[in-house]
Chains A and B, each alone.
Chain A
Amino acid sequence: MAIDGLIILDNTGRPIIQSGFRSTSPAYPLLHVDAFNNTVPKSQRQGDIDPVIYVPPYNVADSPSACCHVECGDMRILCPVSGDVDPLFAFAFLQTFIEILREYFGALSAATLKDNFDVVYQLLEETLDSGGHPLTTSPNALRDIVLPPSLLSKLLSVAGANINSAMNSGSALGATGGPFSSPIPWRKAGLRYNSNEIYFDVVEELKAIVNRHGTTLSSSVWGKIETNAKLSGTPDCMLTFTNPHVITDCAFHPCVRLQRWKRDSSLSFVPPDGHFTLAEYRFTPGASATSARFMAAGAPAVVQSAKENVPIPFLLKPTVELTESGGTFEFKLTSRMPSQTIEALVAEMYLGEGAGGVKCVASRGDGGLSSGRRGTPETGSSSTTGSWTFDQRKMVVRWEIPVVPPSSVWSLRGSFTSLNSSPRPAHALQVRFTLSSFTFSTLKVDQLKVTGEVYKPYKGVRGKATGNVEWRW
């Protein structure tokens, strides 16, 4: 199973960086860049580009191929595949590669990659064999082979001292510190920290669909434990939870001992150095202690979880009326949280092709004009009333409320016109929000034990919840 190569495009669709291709024809990568650029204008909505584009063969003798692609900052990364390769393989590699790039350069943009193109090339060579097989993809091992760019190394190179490479070749000669000297593939050897710390961020996302009557049709909470480990030596960690039965459908970083989890629901692992995602899980709302036992018996516990829905932290009352040449809408949002503040709430609605002339009033309170201030056309903005914008390109009206205090009421009224005879907006609002220091699952870390090393690390645990709710009307 192998991919054909990798092409990074900037936002104008021009290739910036390209891996070597095993294919014989030099036209092959161009064909894929072309296929992608031709597909983009054809898709009417931004998100409607098929992630797997079929690319017909250039010559009769060639076999057809497909172009898998993902968006990454302001760039697109294309991954041509051919034959009977699983496209998931391509996407899995793309995800891994993007994670590596993030690890090296932080926020990604075409400019960053152009700045560091030599490092990117080295990374490409190390992660992808010329036959298209992934080689080394663990960030810890890679950091030994390809030095991350740092201000220091740049300063030094300007100053003329090439200490960087001297260090590099020096370490390569020694048997210990060199690449691939660690007995654990995902962890660097010989790490030393003055203060040993490990941080766990429990990040959960609520995905839900609510119908026009306010009934939740489907909801699920997917969580991740994002970890930042700064521990010396080779620590063997053991993380236990007070209520592990609330999570199910888990996926783990390769460092986690799966048998141990199966036996007593505790995470036993030797962590990689730095940032990594320790585990992913799904929250099972109805799982009391009894149902946990029920699940352990192997019976399908899904029916019940489908019925037990996670409460949506707000209430939305959408009223939309469509006319021949436009429509009016009114959304009323009420926070349902008793004490928590909902943050960064964004509601979006696609207004359909040809929409325009959007005029809205965003206000706080029950929506009397007296309590709200009239927004200026196109963009109305005020921190006390929420703000709205209209994206001409995506045809999306966006309503933003930075802070929603408990049980406050907000409303947005507006109208739009449409060039087409009958407007066809999406029949739903996408509402995204954040709740800091909150988890839906109330998953609680009991304790962290470290064996194999003498120190006792500082442990930090933090929760964060986000939501993505589709509210139909």
Chain B
Amino acid sequence: MSAVYLNSISENASRLGMRLQESFSEHTRELTLAKGSSSLYLEPDDKGRNIRKQLDSSSDREKLDAMKRLVALISKGRNVSEYFAQVVKNVASQNLEIRKLVYIYLLRYAEHEPDLALLSINTFQKDLTDSNPLIRAMALRVLSGIKVPMIGSIVVLAIKKCAADMSPYVRKAAALAIPKCFDLDTSHLPALIGIIATLLRDRSPLSIGSVAVAFEAVCPTRLDMLHTQYRRLCRILLDVDEWGQINLLHLLLRYARTMLPRPTEEDIDVDIKFLLTSAEPLFQSRNPAVVLAVTRVFYYAGPPSYHSRMVQPLVRLLHNSKEVERVVIAYVLAVSRTAPTLFSNFYPQFLVRTDDLRQVKQDKIKLLLRLANFDTHQAILREFIDYADDSDDEVVSDAISAIGRCAYALPECTQQCLSALISMIKNSRDAVVSSAVLVLKYLVQAQLSAATTSSFAVVAATPQESPLTIISHLARRIDDIRHAQARACVLWLVGQYAASTEPSRGPEGVVEWAPDVLRKSAKGFSSEPPMVKLQIITLAAKLLVLCPTDHTLSLICGYVFTLAKYDLNYDVRDRARMVTSLLAGLGLSEAVTAKDPDQDDRGGVVLRREQVRLVLFEGKVSVVAAEENYDINVELGSLGMITHRPMHGDSALPDWLERGVESSLRDTEDDLPVPPPATSFSSSAPPQKLRSLASPVVLTSSSGGRPSGGVKPQWTDLDKFYEDEDEDDEESDDGSEEEDAEASTDDGSDDEEEYSQGEGPQR
């Protein structure tokens, strides 16, 4: 009794609890989501009708709500540019959240509604002086996004202003605005280059990556601007943010390839070495793109002895994620093409897993094939044999052809490959059998052609491995080979290579085992698929040409031709007819021709035996498919290497100069290791400056033809006079810029000191 009572109490209690919970959760749902964003996202479009009213209202909450509605509409793909005018009014809102949403809206639509955006230019310009760096940067971003060439000069001014901003974040935004301004109107190039030059001297590592972006977009050929910055940029590489490191590494690599001498094992330029040593720690970045950028530097600027250092970082990336693995394995494959030995110790890392992506599996198979050498081929071959069981047909055929290539490239494992391939022929799966047969055919053909041309004398196998033994081996097992394509292929091989000059027990001029294959296959002719029938006819014809005198052989052939003549399949009948008329001139025994009484009536050309032989045997393609060599010219770390298609706009790295430019061009007072003891710092600076001033003359002297000495030659004509004066102007410009540089670097170095004495960690 009491138990029942207790039960009912507990039941009631739990019911009450549930009720409480329900009502509570309902309340909270109302509370948190009533005005939550989700409802805004999901609401139907027509509810947005009063957005305009809300935007015009005085309440910040209404405005915020309206802005959120607009952003929701944007993300649903609606065009909400009609509200532009109302939105722009709110750009000066005191509420930061509204302001940010307004900017998000403007960033989207400024490009599409340039005329309306023009109306608000004053506001943006005012925002450029806002106390919050976030607002300043956003204003600049919107301003540079307005695609009206008319305001180009305003934008340039704004960029210039922001380039001198206190906050590196704003300077970064300024750098990123430069390419946009350049796209708008290319006539601002000189001004923009000036700004880039200033920004290049920026001491804060935060913005330098974006400056590299601007440089590449606006003036990629003006690498001479980097001379004095090169060493400093190498030095601060570690402190730059990860995205900036990528851009900076690309830029420095291009500089090195253009301006520095080609490194060799014995002689590597100091500045190249400096770049390599500064970049090397970045192999330890967690960002895969940074690791690859460093790899590019080592691969394209380092001498071969440096290449081994990029191996382990690349292997590490393979374990990052499936997507990264997909890309990196393609790069590893590309690197291994030039230096297969680099990765050969790591082959266990490249073994295929069944849950790998298809492209990864295929690339890994290619890679393993390249890594197979004397020590590893056993293990790698076993892997390939395992991969032939894969559930993906493309992978299977890749694995089997890899076995074939293995046999071709490494003579010591040929026998093993062949036995593997031959056992695959008996497999029940079409993909396995057809690829195995194809590969076998290639192998045999390759070996035979190698034996005749003797250019591949190395490959020419020992007697027991000779291609003919393979064929005879296959021929003896013709009964086991059931797959149509495989059977057809074996029959073709037998016919093609049946000629023999050695005396044998069988018919003269034919290898011993060939007629038996014909006998066996003729027996079951009627039940064979057409593909095999065709090959039986061809085999019969070939044997007959080789040995027209043997009576038994011609009887079998006659039998085959007769069956074929009345076959249900057109192709088989046609082939039989063609072959019999081809063989008409052989003067064969009655068995073949007698049953064709109307043969003589046809007339026409009758071929002699040698001619028939030529027709039947020669002109067959003996191809060993050359290894595909697409994307040899594609660079490491570009999209084309992954898609295997030209992606356009692929900017190739320039080749090395024979001799680099004068290394003193890169000297700055920063790297002067120890100032000469006799002179003070102030007195050592001027000669330094002189040198850097004089060096452009060295550069131009080759083109201008002016002697680099101080004395000017006599003027010959007016044109030349002006030309020279221009050059002088340029020089003096350079000089003044140099001075600017000095001035600002001095300022900057103070900043730097502050930075380092503050809490900035030094690495």
A contacts, CB < 8 Å to B: 1-2, 15-18, 20, 45, 47-52, 54, 63-66, 68, 70, 81-89, 91-96, 111, 114-119, 121-122, 125, 129-131, 133-138, 145, 151, 154-155, 157-158, 160, 162, 164-165, 168-169, 172-173, 178-180, 183-185, 207, 209, 211, 217-218, 220, 222, 234, 236, 248-255, 257-262, 269-270, 277, 280, 282, 300, 302-303, 306, 350, 352-353, 422, 424-428, 430, 452, 470, 472
Contacts and interface: CB of A to CB of B under 8 A. Distances in A.
B389 A427 contact: yes
Contact of A350 (B176, B316, B391): B391
Contact of A154 (B36, B322, B354, B648): B36
Nearest to B42: A114
B186 interface: no
Q: Interface of chain A, helix or strand or loop or mixed?
A: mixed
Interface string B272-287: 0000000001001111
Given A92-B287, A424-B391, A424-B429, A302 B103 contact: no
B323 A51 contact: yes
A370 to B, nearest CB: 34
B92 to A, nearest CB: 13
B291 to A, nearest CB: 8
Contact of A115 (B35, B37, B288, B328): B37
Contacts of B323: 51, 68, 70, 91, 94
25 contacts: A1-B246, A18-B75, A20-B108, A48-B358, A50-B326, A52-B642, A64-B645, A66-B639, A83-B648, A83-B650, A84-B651, A89-B246, A91-B289, A96-B287, A115-B41, A117-B37, A133-B176, A145-B134, A157-B35, A179-B133, A183-B758, A250-B284, A251-B285, A306-B345, A422-B428
B191 interface: no
Contacts of B281: 258-259, 262
Nearest to A189: B759
10 nearest A-B residue pairs (beta carbon):
A218-B348, A63-B648, A51-B323, A92-B289, A84-B638, A115-B38, A172-B132, A258-B281, A426-B354, A86-B637
B107 to A, nearest CB: 6
Interface in B296-350: 308, 312-313, 315-316, 319, 321-324, 326-328, 345-346, 348-349
Contacts of A81: 639
A232 to B, nearest CB: 13
Contacts of A63: 647-649
A141 B97 CA distance: 17
Interface string B682-700: 0000000000000000000
B653 to A, nearest CB: 11
B134 A179 contact: yes
Given A83-B647, A86-B638, A300 B32 contact: no
Nearest to B309: A298
B7 interface: no
Interface in B54-76: 60-61, 64, 68, 71-72, 74-75
A470 B134 CA distance: 50
B292 to A, nearest CB: 5
Nearest to A138: B241
Contacts of B648: 63-64, 83
Given A220-B319, A236-B761, A249-B316, A179 B132 contact: yes
B321 A95 contact: yes
Contact of A173 (B131, B180, B359): B131
Contacts of A260: 763
A185 B241 contact: yes
Contact of B32 (A85, A87, A111, A151): A151
Contacts, number: 314
B292 A88 contact: yes
Contacts of B708: none
Contacts of B32: 151, 154-155, 158
Contact of A133 (B243, B354, B642, B761): B243
Given A81-B639, A180-B167, A352 B133 contact: no
A83 B322 contact: no
A50 B358 contact: yes
A217 B376 CA distance: 12
Contacts of A20: 107-108
A165 B286 contact: no
Given A85-B639, A91-B324, A115-B37, A472 B386 contact: yes
Contacts of B77: 15, 18
Contacts of A258: 238, 281, 284, 763
Nearest to A278: B286
B476 interface: no
Nearest to B637: A86
Contacts of B345: 300, 302-303, 306
Contacts of A472: 354, 386
Contacts of B169: 136, 179-180
Contacts of A236: 761
Interface of B: 31-32, 34-38, 40-42, 60-61, 64, 68, 71-72, 74-75, 77, 94-98, 100-101, 103-104, 107-108, 131-135, 141, 145, 167-169, 172, 176, 179-180, 206, 210, 213, 238, 241-243, 246-247, 250, 281, 284-293, 308, 312-313, 315-316, 319, 321-324, 326-328, 345-346, 348-349, 351, 353-355, 357-359, 379, 383, 386, 389-392, 428-429, 635, 637-640, 642-643, 645-651, 755, 758-763
Contacts of A217: 348, 351, 379, 383
B649 A427 contact: no
A42 B123 CA distance: 52
Contacts of B390: 426-427
A250 B132 CA distance: 39
A472 B201 CA distance: 59
A162 B647 contact: no
A371 to B, nearest CB: 31
Contacts of A89: 246, 289
B313 A249 contact: yes
A64 B68 contact: no
Nearest to A307: B348
A87 B327 contact: yes
A159 to B, nearest CB: 9
Nearest to B216: A1
Contact of B647 (A64, A94, A145): A64
Contacts of A130: 107, 141, 145, 180
Contact of A88 (B42, B71, B288, B643): B288
A318 to B, nearest CB: 13
Contacts of A121: 71, 74-75, 101, 104
Nearest to A268: B761
B243 A134 contact: yes
Nearest to B170: A180
B647 A270 contact: no
B645 A254 contact: no
B234 to A, nearest CB: 15
Nearest to A259: B763
A282 B100 CA distance: 43
B31 A158 contact: yes
A129 B327 contact: no
Contacts of B242: 92, 137, 254
A81 B346 CA distance: 31
A269 B763 CA distance: 9
A184 B326 contact: no
Contact of B308 (A17, A253, A300): A300
Given A117-B71, A470-B353, A91 B327 contact: yes
B278 to A, nearest CB: 11
Contacts of B134: 145, 172, 178-180
Nearest to B247: A1
B327 A184 contact: no
A220 to B, nearest CB: 7
Given A48-B358, A89-B246, A470-B354, A173 B132 contact: yes
Contacts of B75: 15-18, 117, 121
Nearest to A64: B647
